[in-house]
Structure 1
Amino acid sequence: MFTIEIALRHTPIPVFVHRKEAEAAEDLYRTVVQHLQNHIQTGERTVLELTCEKMEGKHSAIVTSEILAVQMLEKSSATTNSGAGFIR
């Protein structure tokens, strides 16, 4: 399972969506980054609609101008003390 974590402006908790396959996670990561780059270059505000493969029925819509950062994580089977997040 792969997690795409999106940090939003003025929001303490990031938005998480999950993908089962690495290729699908990479595609989503690249899509979010492209929307973010487009906003930075043109100032155009668009809405990015996301769904989650882990929690069926979970839908999120994000205004691209509010995205601060995005990261992709692979859930490993090893137990660690740190969870997903930008701050460690």
Structure 2
Amino acid sequence: MYSLELSLRYSPFPLSIQKKELDDVRRIYDEIKNSMNETLENTKLIELRCDKVQDKLIAVRAQEIISVQMYEKSSVATGSKKPGFSLNID
């Protein structure tokens, strides 16, 4: 299972969906990135559907997205790779 997480302007909580296929989440990730680069006059509404929770739908204006990330949601809690934006200094 793959997760796609959005951070929105003025919102402390991220929005996320899960997809079964990597190709699906990459396609959505690329679509959101492209929408974030468009001019403000052409702002559009992005609708996302979750594979894990079938009734979960999210609609968000592209200009309100400040970051997007995708990651594999592992069923095993290894602790080595956690979701979120962090700085790893080795």
| Superposition TM-score tier, normalisation by shorter sequence | 0.7 to 0.9
Instruction: Note the alpha carbon deviations across 1:40-69, whole angstroms, 9 max, x for none.
Output: xx2222110111001110001001110000
Distance 1:19 1:52 in 2: 6
Q: What's the TM-score, normalizing by structure 1?
A: 0.86
Q: Which runs of 4 or more aligned residues in structure 1 lie more than 6 Å from their structure 2 counterparts after TM superposition?
A: none
- Of 32, 36, 47 in structure 2, the residue corresponding to residue 49 of structure 1 is 47
**SS of equivalent residue, structure 1 residue 73:** strand
Distance in 2 between residues matched to 1:82 and 1:14, nearest whole Å: 18
**Residue 84 of structure 2 aligns with which residue?**
85
Unaligned stretches of 5+ in structure 1? none
State the match for 1:65 in structure 2: 63
**Structure of higher CA gyration radius:** 2
Partner of 1:23: 23
Identity %: 32
Superposed CA RMSD in Å reads 1.7
Gaps of 5+ in 2: none
